[in-house]
Structure formats: structure tokens, C-alpha cells
Structure 1
Amino acid sequence: MAGAKDNLFGGTAYQPQGEAYFDDGREIELLHFMYAHPHLNDMRGNPQKVLDAIDEYGKTRKYLMNIGEYKSKTVIDLIREEKPKVIVELGGYVGYSAIAFGAALKNIGGNRYYSLEMNPEFAAVISMLVDLAGLSDIVKVVVGPSSDSLKRLFKEGTLNHIDLLFLDHYKPAYTPDLKTCEELGLVSKGSIYAADNVIKPGNPVYLQYVRSTVQEKRQNYLRIDSSSPRGNPDLIYDSQLIEGWEPSGVPDAIEITRCIGIEA
């Protein structure tokens, strides 16, 4: 596993991604790996040791489409600096980000971390590993399509504002799901969005949207079919690209977007 690729981002890389890289049984295999681990008792209630074991699986067994230890530092630093109360992630997979960011949120006195995951098997893995890490008191796993879950949580009164939105699910859903949050008023001045994988595999539609001016968004707003989320074009965004690395050693980046105001 050693090589030039490992040294680029300061750690040992995950196994190669390959053509089939998720939903082939490896997620359940990860659970068996974790609960048969010789240091299982040390992991209980220790988020970092759980993350280390997940990384161990990714490095020695099979690739996992996690944000990884390198890029996760960008979001953890953001949590420590901004001190959000409520974080919502779209796409939980096996719980790596929920554990890393949920622990950071708990450490700064935050209230709740919602992990929205469409696949019920993945959601079960998240729940078990979150429990293993001792974070069930702050991390809530929500099963279902992200857009439906956002609307349901809002309608129930469970979720009325998002301080930090982490997008790491189906890439074409980034923009419509953000627009749904805008329409519901879940995001407003002070909200921050962290969008993963904007370089690999890339998300030009999302980048164009969050980097557009209010005037550009207003012009496009009139062209959007009413059957699709139209968002709130009046929200003013300041967006920047933070370069990083995939856990496989491939260059990637996170787009950090701040809502800095509303234009009348």
C-alpha cells in the first residue's frame, strides 16, 4: 500500500475504488469487521477509535466512499469555529461523517445532528456505529429520500433551521435539495453549506448555483419548471473551494458556502 500516492495527502490510502465500490455487501461486512475487532471494547464510547477502525477496513479490506480523515478536518474545523447548534447531512452511508462531525458538534455543545440516508441498510449501519461511538444522544438517523425527509421533518416541527448543511449524497440532488431547504426557510443568513466531492466526481451545476449572484439567480428562477424546487434567489452567498484528498488519495475538494444576507 505504500507509495507516492500515500504521501500526497499525509496518510495510507484506502483500497482502490474499482468499478463496483458500494452496496455489494461491504457495508454489512464492515459491521462484522467492527464487532469482531480485537479492540472493540476500546472503541465503545470513543468516536476517534471507531473512525480509526473504519479507516482500517478501508485501507486493508475494501474501499469505502467516506469523506475520509483528510477532508473531514475541514468540516470539523468549521464546526469548532462557527459552533452550529443543528447540523443536517444529506447522505450518511456508513456513518463516518456522522461520527466525526457528530462528535465535534457534541464537543462544542451543539444540539442535534441529523443524518439523512435513503438506503435502510446503510441507515442501520450508521445507527449501530453511532451507538458504538457513544453518540446516539446527539445523532439522529432519518431514513428516506433526502427531499422527502427534509419536508417531513419541517412539517412535523422537528427541524426549523439548519446551521450547517453537509451535502454528500447523490450529486444531481445537491442543488434541488438545497433549493428545498431555501423554500422551506430552513436556511437563512448565517447558515453554512459544506458540499463534498465537487471535484471528484464533480458537481458543476451546484457550484454554478452557489457561486451565482442574486441577479443571476433571479433571472434563472423564472425559467425553472414549477414542478421542481425553485429555491430562494434572494439569498446572498459567499462561496469558496477548499482543496483536499479522497481517502483513496485522489484529489478532491469541498465547497464551503456561507449565506451572508438577503437582498430585498
Structure 2
Amino acid sequence: MGVKPPIGRDTQLCMSLAARPGNFGSRFHNRLYELLGLDYVYKAFTTDDLAGAVGGIRALGIRGCAVSMPFKEAVIPMLDELDPSARAIDSVNTIVNDGGTLTGFNTDYTAVRMLLTSHDVDPAMRFILRGSGGMAKAVATALRDSGFERGTIVARNETAGRSLADAHGYDWTADPDPAGARLLINVTPLGMAGADADALAFAKPLIARCDVAFDVVALPAETPFLAAARAAGKRVVTGAEVATLQALEQFVLYTDVRPDRSDVEAAAAFARA
């Protein structure tokens, strides 16, 4: 473990902006700063004045900012540049400040692409993706750019579902195909802690027919969908992995330091505790 300097005038500030700030990002980043002895501090914020907040990032030399809903698209006109990861989906979840130049990135997109590769998910698989919101857009674009050509977007909102499907060359339906698919992906709140905690994102017959179950829900890490998939002997990709990897890629963008795996795992465990 490094020795983290006390907070002083040279300390670099990183932050997040969300309608409902959580603790994962703050705990993850600050724990890594401690483990690596970096002179940084991270703080979560919310705002009713997005333009003012972004102006403050520039004016105060804040090094980086994570961006959550509902600001991911609204922030784009306020930035100077977009990385290809953000341009691909017109959505920003990370701002990096280089001497007053603000560049938008999307590490959700990056994380999903990396996980599809690291879990050896075959692009020849047909998939069913449930959801049509901002994160669904990031996942669908990551699938398309990773070579997945056969897929269906499942969304009750026909306008949003068809728009997402058409933009990426996929099909749309309001209900999952009873025949199922080899890859099932949940990008809805189904299974998330709260009102939908007990909801199963896909019916058990569909789970029985799949090879890989991918749930973007990060809390809890083991959703009913993933529990059912594990019980059926399926490979799983978890939302906790997405949350950790996208936060790690933000950390690297802010600090130019890539921690080793043990430090990342320690910080992720600390953040979830």
C-alpha cells in the first residue's frame, strides 16, 4: 500500500454528477487512491444547474467527472470533444479535463465490449436484449461493434424499442421470443434492489435454452435472473463486473495509472461492503 498525501493545494479533485448519487464510485475511487498513495479525492454531487456544474469543472480544474442519468446526453453540447466511445452512442458517462479542454467518454460501452471479449462470448450467438434506455443503447452498440449481427431488442415502449433496434440493425418485439436465444441480456431494473428485487428478467424456459446470461443490474450482484442461470449451469456476466470495470476505466482516464488486479478487487469489495 502506498502512502496517500494529506489533502492540500495540489490534491486533484474528481467527482460525479447524478440525479441520485450513490456510494459505489466514491468508495471505489477513494479506496484505490489510498491503496496506491495517489494525491486525489473523489466526491459525488447532484445538481439542478448542469451548465453551471460543467463550467465549474472547467473553471476549477477538476480532473474528471463521472456522469449518470439524467445528464448523459444533456452534457454533450457543453463539452469540447467526444471520444469515439461516447460518439458511437451519443452518450457520455465520463468527462476528462485536460487543462480546460473537456472530453466526453463512455466507459459503460468500453466495459461491455471488454467483458464480451474476456468472457469469450461468441459473436455468432443470437441474443435477446431486454431494455431500451440509455444503458441499453450502450450495450446494443457494444454488441454491434463486437460483431454480433443477430439480435432482438425487447421493449414495451415500441417507439424507443424500434428506434434502438433500427439504429443497430436488430429486430424489435414487445415480448421475448418463446424459442429464446443463446445470449440473454437484461438492461432493465428487473431484479434490482427495491421494488423489482424479486422480478425475473427472463422466464425460466428461456434461461434453460441460453448459453450465457448477462445482467447489467449491479445491485444486488446476484439477481434472480443470474441465480436461475447459475442453477441451470449457464455462464454468467454480472452487473457488478460492469460497474467495476467501467469505474476502473474512469480511474485510468483520470490518473493515467492502471492498478493491478488485486487492488481493483480490493477496492470493488470495499465499495460494495
TM-score by length of 1: 0.47
Higher relative contact order (CA 8 A, sep 6+): 1
- Which structure: greater helix fraction? 1
TM-score by length of 2: 0.46
